[in-house]
Every structure is written in structure tokens, then in C-alpha cells.
Amino acid sequence: MQEALFYNKLSDGKVQCELCPWNCILSPTQVGNCKVRLNDNGNLVTEVYNKVATLGSDPIEKKPLYHFYPGKNILSIGEVGCNLHCKFCQNHRISQCKASQFSGFHNITSEQIVNEALKTWNNIGIAYTYNEPFTFYEFLLETAELAKSKRLKNIVVSNGYINEEPLKKLLPFIDAFNIDLKAFSDEFYQKQTKGKLQPILESLKLIANSGVHLEITNLVIPGLNDDTNEFEKMSKWIAAVLGEQTPLHLSRYYPQYKMDISPTPIETLNSLHSIAKQHLQHVFLGNVSDNEKSSTYCTNCNALLIQRNHFKTELENLTSDGTCKKCGITSGIIL
Ligand code: SF4
């Protein structure tokens, strides 16, 4: 176990963790809401340091990131724990599990992960993903620093539920984020995830203002977050605050974990796609077979720039610096 960053010692052996908006106050032997940070004799420690639950190479499109090194692979690692408790979590076996009760860890150091990334074919770096990466903050920070020194890219796929100071400390080492914006209503966040909306909006603003590449995923759940007025408000907010070039991935929901609502109708996804396209330049459908709405087009001349078919990616009319070959405009795609 490793001492955690971002905590204060209180009286009676208690500690307060200040990593995420829960700001948990923990008595000795108590673990935080994320189930992986423990008060060990008056010190806050992380139980997920120098270990992984999952490690493998994925297409970068699977994160999903569509405008960041398209066609490349990324070595992806995950652990256990999460600071949200979504009823529809696809990875609940690792995200909602206590570190102390998980038996599938592999011990591994940051150096070993970086060495693995350096020798993996077609690989641009390391993605911190699968469970909530901020809950293994110390290991993430250490690995990302080392990876950056070896010219690897670091990608974080996250729920965005983190306090400002730790996010600021991490930003210089991260090259791209995909952040889940699960809805544009605090009621949804409180009922369906046990979190709050505002801290996630603050994280998104901080990331966008830092200039780090940002894409957003919104899982559309019938009857819970598919209200067209609320969705349009979210699209307008993304355009106005984060930038209209921010890619938005609308993902089809399927029943998972504690939620048994039927899968999102394709018509709903198409309708929300049309609304978002009125405000944002790049809107994609995910978890569905729709090559047209998962491909990238030039915002100026509408030329096909990247054709996607599931995780197969073909660069079409792009120069090596991301310029559209047809009209010469800069696409903003990082190649
Ligand atoms: S990171 Fe975990 S222990 Fe720390 S405040 Fe968040 S939920 Fe609580």
C-alpha cells in the first residue's frame, strides 16, 4: 500500500480525502466511497498502487477517441473502484468492487507498463480506463509522468468526478481525455449515479481551457436522459463553453447491472444526433452499426476525412498534418 495524495489528517485518527467531490471523512480502517482508499492507522493509503486488474491493447477508437491518432492502438490498463455508482455500469464487476475483496490483481510497476507500451505494435501510449482512473490517482500520475518522459501519449477515460487541484496537477501529463457526460441534469446524476453534475462540468471546463484534447461520451438511456430539451441544452453548453469542435459520442445503451430498461431505439439516437449537429461540428453514434454517423467529415466542404466501420479506420482526404485535401482547411484531427 502507498500513502495517498490529497488528504488531511483530522482528530481521533480520522482523515479527509480531498481527491474527489465526495471529500470522504474516514475513521481508522474505513474505506472511501470509491472502495479503494483506506484509513490505515490515521494515514490515507491507496490499495491499488503497483497493480492492475486489466491490461491489453485496444484500437484508440474503442476508448472512444476519434480525432486523436485515428487507426493507432493504445495499451489500456484498469483497476477496481469508482467514485460514482451508476445503475447501468458496463464494468460493474471491477468498478463496484472493494480492492480488498478483488482476487484478480496482477502486480506491476509503472516501469513495466511503460516498457510494455514501448514494445507494443502500432501503439502510441497508455490509456487509463475500464474502471474510474482517478481512483488510482497515484499510480496513474506516476505512470503518466514516466510515459511522457519516454514520449508516449497518455489518455484518460473518466467520469470527470475529481476536485480541481488534483486535476490541475495531472493535466500536464495527459494528452487526451474522453469524459462521460451522462446527462445534463443534477437529478439524473443524484438518482442514477449518486454523484452531482456541477463538478463534472467544472472538470470539463478545466480540461478544455488547458488545451488538452477532449472528447465527450453520452450514453443515451430511454426515459432517463433522452429528453430533447435537456439534450439540446447540453449540446449548446458544450458548443458555447468547450467549443463546437468538441467531438460528442452518442452511445447506445443496453441493459446492464441494475438497469433493465430496453435498449435505446435507433430513432432516438438519430433524432438526438440531428439536434446535436445543429450546435456541434462532430457528432458520432456508438454501439450501433452506422458507418455514416460514425465517420468524420470536413466541416467546410463535407469531404469524407475518416471512414469508420466498427473499429476499422481508413484515413481518406487528410494530409499528414490533418488538413483536408479537398479544400485545404485544418481539421483539428491529431495524427
Ligand atoms: S477518492 Fe474515494 S476516498 Fe477520496 S473523496 Fe473520492 S470517494 Fe472518497
Give the residue, out of 8, 16, 20, with the most ligand 1 atoms within 8 A of its beta carbon, to mutate for a pocket test: 20
Q: Nearest residue CA, atom 2 of ligand 1?
A: 34
68 has which bridge partners? 334
Ligand 1 touching residue 54 (CB < 6 A): no
Q: DSSP alpha helices (H): ranges in 70-227?
A: 92-95, 110-119, 137-149, 164-170, 186-188, 198-210
Question: 249, 227 in Cβ contact below 8 A?
Answer: no
Tens of pLDDT, residue by residue over 238-265, are 999 999 999 999 999 999 999 999 999 9
Tens of pLDDT, residue by residue over 282-319, are 999 999 999 999 999 999 999 999 999 887 899 999 99
Ligand 1 touching residue 4 (CB < 6 A): no
Domains of the chain, CATH where assigned: 2-46 (no CATH), 51-294 (3.20.20.70), 296-335 (no CATH)
Tens of pLDDT, residue by residue over 81-123, are 999 999 999 999 999 999 999 999 999 999 999 999 999 999 9
Would you place residue 191 in the very low, low, confident or very high pLDDT band (cuts 50, 70, 90)?
A: very high
Give the residue, out of 7, 15, 22, 97, with the most ligand 1 atoms within 8 A of its beta carbon, to mutate for a pocket test: 22
Q: Nearest residue CA, atom 6 of ligand 1?
A: 20
**Residue 267: HSE in the Cβ half-sphere, 13 Å Cα cutoff:** 0
Q: What string of DSSP letters covers 69-104? A: STT-EEEEEE-S--S---TT-TTHHHHTS-GGG---
Set of cell numbers at residue 183: 446527462
Confidence (pTM): 0.97
How many Å lie between the centroid of ligand 1 and the Cα of residue 333?
A: 35
The amino acid at 321: D
Q: What pLDDT does 107 receive?
A: 97
Q: Using CA atoms, how far apart are residues 260 and 16, in angstroms rounded to an integer?
A: 36
List, in order, residues 6 or more apart from 266 with CB less than 8 Å away.
252, 288
Give the residue, out of 3, 6, 14, 17, with the most ligand 1 atoms within 8 A of its beta carbon, to mutate for a pocket test: 17
Q: Nearest residue CA, atom 3 of ligand 1?
A: 32
**In the structure, how many helices (H) and strands (E) does the chain have?**
8, 19
List, in order, residues 6 or more apart from 120 with CB less than 8 Å away.
57, 73, 75
